[in-house]
Amino acid sequence: MDAKSRILSRIRQALKGMPKALLPEHPHPASPQDPLALFLKRLAENGAEGHLLDEEGVRRLLADLAQGLPGAAYGKGVPSAFRLLPEIPPEEAPLGVSRALFAVAETGTVALSSEDGRRTQLLPPVHLVLVEEKRVYPSLLEALLDLKSLPSALGLHSGPSKSADIGQVMVKGVHGPGRLVVAVLQGSW
Amino acid sequence: MQAKAKLYPKEAARLLREKPGVREAVTGATLHFEEGRKKAYGEMDAEALRERAKRVKDHLLTHLDQYLELAEKRLREKGVQVHWAEGPEEAHRTLREIVARHGVKRAVKAKSMLTEELGVNPLLESLGVEVFETDLGEYLIQLLGEPPSHIVGPAIHLSLPEIQRLFHGRFGTPLDASPEALAAVARKVLREAFLTAELGISGANFLVAETGTLALMENEGNIRLSTSLPKVHVAFVGIEKLLPRLADLALFLPLTARAATGQRLSTYVSLIQGPAKEGEEGPEEVHVVLVDHGRTTLLHDLEAWEVLRCLRCGACLNACPVYRQTGGHPYGYVYSGPIGAVLDPGLLGLEEAYPLPYASTLCGACYEACPVKIPIPKLLLTWRKRAVERGLAPTWERGAIQAFAKVMESPTLYRLFSKALRGLPLPQDLLPLLRAWTEGRGPLKPSPKPFHLLWQELKE
């Protein structure tokens, strides 16, 4: 017998003597009144920066972040209107710009698909994430229940990379970006 | 990993004697975690969420065969290669094959308690693979050649000066280098490793059966890098780590983060479905190794199986007054603290883990902290009872307890002995039970009046 059959047969043997437990239904999420405001508040609490902007506002934010930089790395889904700097590889880029699949208000989270490009999300020290206003879910439960298909990897980012492993002192940007900026785009693109 | 749990009392005493700084470092770190947890539990209906999480886990465990088969099916549909391993031997065989097939010279590894159980690092090193632990804390203890001291914070027992000395010796950084400067040095070494390693190794916080999703939680980004940059990703998953539905993550991810570090969600969560698709960045191969290593034995144990609900959040360690004194090393196995005291006897056998169920004050703080309501104090008593039944507990202890019970049950004997104890000098050094107590606390002094008299006076 292979390992799988041996393990499964031992489990079945064990379960014979046990009463089956029922699976509880998912709860009804209690939606916050203003998910957008909550999202920005939670982002700030997580040590990230959040902005609610129109297209022009996003371009201004980008121009601010781009000052003095030689280039940026871009996720596949970032529209050309927001590619103000020349594109350079994520390994060298001082700035990464991604487009989020969705965001979650209650936890201050942006969800990033592997289809957009993982290196851009992780390697540059500053990460700007664009997300459409209508893609901000009040809760993680609602977002997960609404997901129709999953990319090969989905990253939930809720702030800058951090560690307190050295003498319990919080250090930012240990492996991933030390700065996370989120632009919620009013309307759609 | 070789278990040294039998040495617990000796090792705990030695550590307190030889490394008094550990107590301060561990107490500081665990109290910080514990405050975070209390605050985070206070923000929600913790009782209701813990009860719900317990019920989901109980359902999963009582249908484990079905969910394992479903998870395997879903993983294969997404192009993940699934392997099963009863223990280290089979897990090693799988890993050896992958290393040989891809000519792996370098591996980056995310912190995982299961890979500690399986001895993944020593195996890789024996195969000539250079292994980098990429969690900062885990990297520190890898440089020191130590095992993790805590499930979530593997290096919480180290003080800043110790780390400064370590980096000074290793990388020539100044002895007063700031934590930022030290982290920057580690980051440089590890960034290079991420970009050149052929293999990424991780554990898993959860494996969702419905979708075949691996869920991994962290704050640094090293797990995301380990599972994104190398061309092969291998995840070792304990068979009890499954969840039924994708949406169950909406309960378990925040609950685990709150219990572990007091966060609403960990900074990074990776939800991995499989290898990169055509034209996409990411690993070309993803392997999942489903590992038993004692878990089915625990499932057979009607008095002890509830420990399989454990999410490895470390909340019980932080809440435990015993763990706080020494950190995890004296426990002598991968899992320390209250959860180790009830999990290790199940995984290793009580004979190998005998003293651990006694490493507790039975104060119940671990149960209050546990996000899935594992009745740790009850399980401690179960293992203690078995230790006595199997003759593992010292015979003098058994005799002493029996004598004590006799005296307490008879009012005449009780009066007689309490009078005698107050009148005669206590033979402190003769009784081993007393010696264990007095060694750390000074001699025992009987109260001048018996309790029932004091009580009577108090009432009058």
pLDDT tens figures, B340-374 = 999 999 999 999 999 999 999 999 999 999 999 99
User: B80, B165, B267, B269: which to substitute to probe chain A, counting the most A Cβ within 10 Å?
Assistant: B267
Beta carbon pairs, A and B, within 8 Å: 228
Which A residues 15-44 touch B at CB under 8 Å? 15, 17-24, 26-27, 42
Q: Which residues of A are less than 8 Å from B137 in CB distance?
A: 163, 165
- Under an 8 A CB cutoff, do B65 and A11 touch? yes
Q: What is the pLDDT of residue B49?
A: 97
How far does the CA of residue B371 sit from the closest CA of chain A (Å)? 16
Whether pTM > 0.90 for this model: the answer is yes
Q: pLDDT under 70 in chain B at which residues?
A: 425-437, 439-440
How far does the CA of residue A30 sit from the closest CA of chain B (Å)? 12
Q: What is the pLDDT of residue A18?
A: 93
How far does the CA of residue A69 sit from the closest CA of chain B (Å)? 21
Per-residue pLDDT of chain A (189 residues; tens, 9 = 90+): 899 999 999 999 999 989 999 999 999 877 778 999 999 999 999 999 999 999 999 999 999 999 999 999 999 999 999 999 999 999 999 999 999 999 999 999 999 999 999 999 999 999 999 999 999 999 999 999 999 899 999 999 999 999 999 988 999 999 999 999 999 999 766
- Under an 8 A CB cutoff, do A122 and B228 touch? yes
- Under an 8 A CB cutoff, do A14 and B84 touch? no
Dist. CA B127–CA B124, nearest whole Å: 5
Q: What is the pLDDT of residue B32?
A: 96
- Under an 8 A CB cutoff, do B195 and A167 touch? no
pLDDT in tens, B55-68: 999 999 999 999 99
How far does the CA of residue B386 sit from the closest CA of chain A (Å)? 20
A8 touches chain B (CB under 8 A): yes
- Under an 8 A CB cutoff, do B55 and A24 touch? yes
Q: What is the pLDDT of residue B446?
A: 75
Q: Which residues of B are less than 8 Å from A77 in CB distance?
A: none
Q: What is the pLDDT of residue A29?
A: 76
Q: What is the pLDDT of residue A152?
A: 97
Q: Which residues of B are less than 8 Å from A75 in CB distance?
A: none
Q: Which residues of B are less than 8 Å from A27 in CB distance?
A: 52
**A151: nearest CA partner in chain B:** B273
A113 touches chain B (CB under 8 A): no
**B240: nearest CA partner in chain A:** A11
A108 touches chain B (CB under 8 A): yes
H or E segment at A125? none
Residue A181 has phi, psi (to 5 degrees) of -120, 130
pLDDT in tens, A73-112: 999 999 999 999 999 999 999 999 999 999 999 999 999 9
Which A residues 50-79 touch B at CB under 8 Å? none
Dist. CA A166–CA B155, nearest whole Å: 8
How far does the CA of residue A157 sit from the closest CA of chain B (Å)? 5
- Under an 8 A CB cutoff, do A118 and B153 touch? no
Q: Which residues of B are less than 8 Å from A150 in CB distance?
A: 211, 213, 246, 271, 273
How far does the CA of residue B184 sit from the closest CA of chain A (Å)? 7
Q: What is the pLDDT of residue B408?
A: 86
